[in-house]
Amino acid sequence: MEDKDEFDSAINYFQTIINCNNKSFYSQNKIGVTFIGIKTNISGNFKLHIYILLFPFVKSEKVVPYCNNFPNLYFKDLCLDVSESFYFWIYQEMRIQNSIIIMSLESNIVKIVPGFGDALISIDKNCIEKKEWMDLEYEDWYEKKIFNNVFIINIINPFTYTVPFPVKPIIIKTVKKINNYVEIL
């Protein structure tokens, strides 16, 4: 299977999970989702690792494709309908993580990436921006329907383990930019 096909298949699988577990299609609750595919040989074999970032309270459903200059790295945004209970889960998980939610999808198993990330993707711990979900109770946060937090995320360069010299990580920022949920810096 080609990388792009595997990436698209994983996105379709995640959409199916969300649509099956959230009965309120076309609900007033929307969530922004950024999928990141990183093909690297960190485990000794080239493999596509897929990560999912969740962004509550998106205002626009319209997303545009990313212009990506990095080989072995894939990005795609979606806007999905979710139930209020899904928002409650997001709120609770963000409070536990003290950060946005990063999930991994491997072999049709979706897992939350604990803390500030793992070996391939990590959130900059120096982010000092105020996190409104830490100060508000769920009902107040849900009523405000605002999520403008900016996080800097480091993605390992896909060539880190294949070239004999150091390569810089790819850095993205979680800021709404021309109908995308992240900006590639």
How many residues are there in the chain? 185
State pLDDT tens for residues 101-141.
899 998 888 898 887 778 888 888 777 677 777 888 999 98
Under 8 Å between Cβ of 37 and 4? no
State pLDDT tens for residues 26-41.
567 888 899 999 988 8
pLDDT tier, 91 (very low <50, low <70, confident <90, very high otherwise): very high
Averaged pLDDT for residues 72-97: 88
DSSP state of 132: H
User: CB neighbours (10 Å) of residue 69?
Assistant: 8
pTM of the shown model: 0.88
On the CB side of 6, how many CA atoms lie within 13 Å of its CA?
19
pLDDT tier, 21 (very low <50, low <70, confident <90, very high otherwise): low
Domain total for the chain? 1
pLDDT of 37 reads 92
Q: What span, in angstroms and rounded, lies between the C-alpha atoms of 73 and 111?
A: 20
pLDDT above 70 for 22: no
